[in-house]
Amino acid sequence: MTDTVTVRVPAKVNVQLAVGGLRPDGFHGLANVFLAVGLHDEVTASPADVLRIGATGPDAHQVPLDDTNLAARAARALAAHHGLDAPAVHLGLRKDIPVAGGMAGGSADAAGALVACDALWGTRTPRGELLALCAELGSDVPFSLLGGAALGRGRGELLTPLAVGGTFHWVFAVADGGLSTPEVYRECDRLREASGTGATVAAVPEPEPSPALLDALRDGDAAALAASLAGPDGASSNDLQPAALSLRPALADTLKAGTSAGALAGLVSGSGPTCAFLTESAESAASVAESLLASGTCRTARPTTAPAPGATLLS
Ligand SMILES: C[C@](O)(CO)[C@H](O)COP(=O)(O)OP(=O)(O)OC[C@H]1O[C@@H](n2ccc(N)nc2=O)[C@H](O)[C@@H]1O
Ligand SMILES: Nc1ncnc2c1ncn2[C@@H]1O[C@H](COP(=O)(O)OP(=O)(O)OP(=O)(O)O)[C@@H](O)[C@H]1O
């Protein structure tokens, strides 16, 4: 038995998010190309009398500290999986991933809590079982465990790792206030209905990954990846982008500010409202971040690199 265990878990950006029709179970089929990026949460697990959650960081006040916290749900799920009593553990969340920002912060904490509790309790859960627990906790959680880059099929939980041939330089423009993921999916359906195409599985083509985008990732080619992320007239590899823009029209100004500042391409990260900008170098990322901040169109701008490893034990 160890006394304290800390796990570091990355945020993600969806370099492609192709959204299929609304399934009868309330989810959408996806071709979801995940890329883990160098913004991290840390989850520290230590013994306690009952399950307790604490959170620190700039967005900590937005994190629920009750049973609805995804890290608490993860600890309970792992304990139940091993037939243990209710988990007696303190989970300390050091949050650096924006909350409700479309970067899978809660999912990162869930994956981190699973790995941390598994080490603390000495339960040695096989990787496949951990991934299955992740999928029960949320569609993004398996990728938070895996990291790197991966194609997510199904509702995003069925992962195939992808090769990445180099380091990509990104800037993340963090908005004031979050967006609710289910609301953004609902807005996507509403826009599809309103445009006359319909929103059901029968009406929307099966989502497929873009071969050019996968090649660009494999080759580590930032210019080619940029060409796959955004096109003329606001076209985006993220099918949720029109819905996020519809709910938060000011994001158009953020996207414009980043591309005017020299980013190769910009898109909304997942369900938003964080905007992601691909740049050609670390220097360019620093300068785009500075311009974004000066533009007043975001709360903060964070340069970083990708890919990043998945949930990693630090101690
Ligand atoms: C937008 C993304 O972050 C892109 O990676 C994910 O698709 C969202 O993943 P997540 O936050 O882990 O979402 P979940 O906790 O599994 O689901 C929350 C809600 O989002 C919607 N949802 C989620 C995933 C999916 N493939 N289709 C959906 O329609 C559903 O309304 C669902 O009830
Ligand atoms: N550990 C957690 N950290 C942050 N939010 C949490 C956590 N557990 C539960 N939540 C709840 O989940 C909501 C969504 O938070 P999260 O930061 O995961 O959003 P997100 O990054 O947009 O998710 P995704 O990109 O996976 O769709 C929050 O508003 C909060 O109420």
What structural domains does the chain harbor?
5-162 (3.30.230.10), 168-306 (3.30.70.890)
- Report the half-sphere exposure of 310 (CA within 13 A, side-chain side): 22
Task: Give the single-character DSSP code of 208.
Answer: -
Q: How far apart are CA 18 and CA 43, in angstroms?
A: 31
- Catalytic-role residue among 109, 118, 140, 239: 140
Query: How much distance in Å is there from the Cα of 298 to the middle of ligand 2?
Result: 19
* CA dihedral of 315, 99, 15, 9, whole degrees rounded to 10: 0
Q: Give the residue whose CA is nearest to atom 30 of ligand 2.
A: 63
Ligand 2 lined by 71 (C-beta under 6 Å): yes
Environment class of 211 (CB within 10 Å of its CB; exposed 0-12, middle 13-18, buried 19+): exposed
Query: Is 59 a known active-site residue?
Result: no
* Residue 242 assigned ligand-binding role: no
Q: Which residues of 18-32 are buried (b: 16+ CB within 10 A; e: fewer)?
A: bbbbbeeeeebbbbb
Regarding the beta carbon of 63 and ligand 2, being less than 6 Å apart is answered yes
Q: Catalytic site residue 67?
A: no
Q: How much is the pTM?
A: 0.98
The one-digit pLDDT tens for each residue of the chain (315 residues) are: 558 999 999 999 999 999 999 999 999 999 999 999 999 999 999 999 999 999 999 999 999 999 999 999 999 999 999 999 889 999 999 999 999 999 999 999 999 999 999 999 999 999 999 999 999 999 999 999 999 999 999 999 999 999 999 999 999 999 999 999 999 999 999 999 999 999 999 999 999 999 999 999 999 999 999 999 998 888 999 999 999 999 999 999 999 999 999 999 999 999 999 999 999 999 999 999 999 999 999 999 999 999 999 999 997
Taking the C-alpha atoms of residue 178 and residue 273, their distance in angstroms, rounded to an integer, is 6
CA distance 27 to 50: 34
Which value does ipTM take for this structure? 0.98
Could you give the strand order of the β-sheet that contains 265-268, starting from the edge strand earlier in sequence? 265-268, 275-279, 168-174, 300-306
Q: Which residue from 42, 157, 181, 241 has its CB within 8 A of the most atoms of ligand 2, so it is best to mutate?
A: 181
